[in-house]
Chain A
Amino acid sequence: MKNKVKDLALDGVLRQNPTLKLVLGTCPTLALTTAAMNGVGMGLAVTFVLMCSNVIISSLRNIIPSRVRIPAYILIIATFVTIVRMFLNKFAPTIATAMGPYLPLIVVNCIILGRAEAFASKNPVLDSMFDGIFMGLGFMLAITLMGAFREILGAGAIFGVKLWDFKIEFFTHASGALFTYAIFIALFTYFSGLYSKKSKQKTLQKDKKEVEA
């Protein structure tokens, strides 16, 4: 079980990072990364919805007929999105307004539907819950980092704390969002390539040692 959780964590955050590797959920990524705080808020909201919907879908996976599964998934996801919306409107209205239309749009976020279709509908409940948590964390990490990058360069601040007066406004525009996204995907692919090479070498050495032994 421990190994499985570790595997799911690595998948969610690194090997199958939903934003940087699978390129899912690009709408909120491009629109909300103007500030690091938006990333945290959106990431938490998506993680919560993803975890809950994964659990429900996974526990209902043998009941839902496969022909109507997509409407059923959407219904389940929409329920949790509504809960999140009501919660945020009541207790954190500033975050809710900052996220604007992207909060209700979590319903059609590809990450959630994608995980429901690819993972939760085939795996047991506990695994699906961990998958939801780590996928959400991977998404949150990616958009928070991108938000920090854009906030530092575009507004000279981080998490709303002002650092300096110098700012390159390009990074606050939509073009800056696409540019940042491209840079992050490139860097992520480069470093994950290095990582997979290393791990391959390690397994090769292990195999060799085993053969020698």
Chain B
Amino acid sequence: MGKLVISNTPHIKSKSSTKRIMIDVLIALLPAFVMGIVYFGWYALLLCAISLITCILAEVVYLLIVGEKIKDIIRKFDFTSAVTGLLLGMNLPPECPWYLPIIGGIFGIVVVKMLFGGTGKNFVNPAITARIFLVLSFASFMTMWGEPSIGALFPLDSGATSGATSGATALGPILQGSSQMSNLDLFLGTGVGASAIGETCKVALILGYIYLVIRKVIDFKYPLIYVGVTGLMMVIYQGNINAFLPSILSGALIFAAIFMATDYVTTPNTTLGNIVYFALLGILTATLRHLRGTESVSFCILFMNFFVPLIDRHIVPKPFGFKKAKKEVKDGK
């Protein structure tokens, strides 16, 4: 027999840490990131890189101003700001000016995250809030839809200009039920106008989703609930069963459902709470999309983030072994 070791709880430790989870999220984002660059060209890569660097720098500079030592900052660096940066970059329209990711990154990291206490204490998703800040500030740039093309990376003829059109997204006709897009085009993201670099290729997004589920970073149920409820509500609103696939495949819904809505900090603590949260999110998204006729996923997620404390307050986890007190004590057999 070995020596009896007496230690304080917790006794079971796993390798799971914020750092590992965030690196997993970065890996899961990679396929969609690569497809975004394939579709939209080098400028999309530049935008993502600017956003990533701005977010990391903003966090480091903030910590330096607050008075942390550079050694501690490097030791504690947990890649959350890198995830925020990459998500923000992939949330931008591919044709927007270069200074948007800088402004958005600083706003997202400093105002939304660091001023509220840093990683794990932000009450709304920094990347979503930064995107909304940019939409409110630079509406004309943020509603410019890029036209993806496979040849964007290495254009054969130098005269080919990218077809940035304003306001004409795949979502508009779909919401009016007059879309000419095939589901396959929507699924692969080819030939569909996109408002964000990362949202186009659904195959790549689903690859990332599978990776996250296998690594147990996210629960497989929640994105499915969100996407499913949104699709169902759209079917109900339009009274047409064929509306299901186009409505879930278009816009940023799948991207947001996998990577943005599932942020740990801004989701409820319990399974039931999460189901309520994602179902409400789906209903809200479909309703707003139907009524306003534009993409509203980011606004819905921000809005529902405010409800997380409310959900957590009313759906409380049952302690292990807890039994409800009976009103009458019966004589048991």
Chain A positions 142-201 with a Cβ under 8 Å from a chain B Cβ? 168-171, 173, 175, 179
Shortest A109–chain B CB gap in Å is: 29
Q: Are A168 and B139 in contact (CB under 8 A)?
A: no
Q: What is the interface residue range for chain B against chain A?
A: under 10
Chain A residues contacting B133 (CB-CB under 8 Å) are: 170
The distance in angstroms between the C-alpha atoms of A169 and B103, with both chains bound, is 12
How many interface residues does A have (CB within 8 Å)?
7
Secondary structure call for the A interface: helix
Chain A positions 68-123 with a Cβ under 8 Å from a chain B Cβ? none
Chain B residues contacting A173 (CB-CB under 8 Å) are: 136
Shortest B137–chain A CB gap in Å is: 4
Query: Which of A169, A173, A175, A179 is most buried by chain B, counting CB atoms within 10 A of its CB?
Result: A169
Q: Does B138 contact A (CB under 8 A)?
A: yes
The distance in angstroms between the C-alpha atoms of A168 and B133, with both chains bound, is 9
The distance in angstroms between the C-alpha atoms of A169 and B135, with both chains bound, is 9
The distance in angstroms between the C-alpha atoms of A171 and B137, with both chains bound, is 8
Chain A residues contacting B137 (CB-CB under 8 Å) are: 168-171
Shortest B129–chain A CB gap in Å is: 11
Contact of B139 among A169, A171, A175, A179 (CB under 8 A): A169
The distance in angstroms between the C-alpha atoms of A169 and B139, with both chains bound, is 8
Chain B residues contacting A169 (CB-CB under 8 Å) are: 136-139
The distance in angstroms between the C-alpha atoms of A171 and B107, with both chains bound, is 13
Shortest B166–chain A CB gap in Å is: 17
Query: Which of B103, B133, B136, B138 is most buried by chain A, counting CB atoms within 10 A of its CB?
Result: B136
Chain B residues contacting A171 (CB-CB under 8 Å) are: 137
Chain B positions 180-238 with a Cβ under 8 Å from a chain A Cβ? none
The distance in angstroms between the C-alpha atoms of A173 and B133, with both chains bound, is 11
Q: Enumerate the 8 nearest inter-chain pairs by beta-carbon distance, A residue then B residue, closest first.
A: A170-B137, A168-B137, A170-B136, A169-B137, A170-B133, A173-B136, A169-B136, A169-B139
**Interface residues of B, Cβ cutoff 8 Å to A:** 103, 111, 133, 136-139
- 12 example contacts (A-B, Cβ-Cβ < 8 A) are as follows A168-B103, A168-B137, A168-B138, A169-B136, A169-B138, A169-B139, A170-B133, A170-B136, A170-B137, A171-B137, A175-B136, A179-B111
